[in-house]
Amino acid sequence: MIDKLIEGIKQTKCPVCVGLDTMHTYLPEEFEADEKKPLRSIGDALFDFNREIIDSINDIVPSVKVQVAYYEQYGSAGMRAFKKTIAYARKVGLVVISDVKRNDIGSTATAYSNAYLGGVEIGGERHCPYESDFITVNPYFGIDGIQPFLNDCKKYGKGIFALVKTSNPSGGEFQDLKVYRKRLYERVADKVDAWGQDLIGEYGYSAVGAVVGATYREQAQFLREKHPTTFFLVPGYGAQGATAADIAVNFDANGLGAVINSSRGILLAYKKPQYAGMNFKKAARAAVLDMKEDILSALKANGVNL
């Protein structure tokens, strides 16, 4: 799956992942909730909105990231919208990253992996209710909590992104602690690199990637140089304040090695003055194209062409 993501990036020249972190408060007026069945109608609206966003961007980006928390908050109606969204995005050919940040002891991690990557076998048939191409995982349990995901990556050609250096302001509270002369996030990055060594694809990148927040430029640059086979999922551009210059350090000399996520910056583009007069679909597309230009110019400034 890492090869499909890289091929999509090469083909679109757009290393962008559209974050479908859809909230009812983000929806334009035409998606009004039905007072008699509010959660149910919101669930339907989330999917309808996502489908229209997907239709407006699927020819210009390789991937979407769908953060499950936004759907969980609406209970089963939200999870239905989540399931339909990831199925629809995969159907139209996008690489789907389900942002679920899962992990636990090995037996429980296996159940999580079944839900998103591997599936359960019932009556000789495989059922994977939230089948995704990649998921995000938390590496905090160590290898026995990661192994079930690695097994499914191998068996089903899937991928994972493990949290290494997160984008949030207090991410360093634990991640920057020194552990035998290295920062904890550096030690985690070393492990993620090692876990992925037998899952390296055609382009030299592993299906075991790392989440590296765009808001910590120096650390990202260090990680990019140190881990040439680890592909980065980079959140933090736009709404969290990271610029294209901040994210440019996550790429290799060929303009590969990273996919940049933006969620609110794209979903809410229709509310921004620079896209005034556009409906939410046109504004989302325009925001993606602007983001692409921004990234490609920053890469060019570093002498890199995708």
Ligand X SMILES: O=C(O)c1cc(=O)[nH]c(=O)n1[C@@H]1O[C@H](COP(=O)(O)O)[C@@H](O)[C@H]1O
Binding site for ligand X (CB under 6 A): 19, 21, 67, 99, 136, 166-168, 211, 213, 235-236, 238-240, 261-265
| Nearer Cβ to ligand X (86/304) | 86
Amino acid at 298: A
| Nearer Cβ to ligand X (211/299) | 211
Rounded to the nearest whole angstrom, what is the least distance from the CB of residue 267 to ligand X in the complex? 8
Q: Is 101 a residue of the active site?
A: yes
Rounded to the nearest whole angstrom, what is the least distance from the CB of residue 166 to ligand X in the complex? 3
Among candidate residues 172, 262, 263, the one with its CA nearest the CA of residue 219: 172
Rounded to the nearest whole angstrom, what is the least distance from the CB of residue 76 to ligand X in the complex? 21
Among candidate residues 286, 300, 172, the one with its CA nearest the CA of residue 245: 300
- Non-local (6+) Cβ contacts of 18 within 8 A are 53, 57, 61, 63, 64, 65, 261, 262, 263, 266, 284, 288
**Which helix H or strand E contains 289, and what residues bound it?**
helix 280-301
* Residue tagged active-site, from 13, 83, 101, 282: 101
| Nearer Cβ to ligand X (2/211) | 211
State the DSSP code for 207. Answer: S
Residue found under tokens 């239709």:
55
Strand 208-212 relative to strand 159-165, pairing = parallel
| Nearer Cβ to ligand X (15/238) | 238
Rounded to the nearest whole angstrom, what is the least distance from the CB of residue 66 to ligand X in the complex? 9
Active site residues: 101
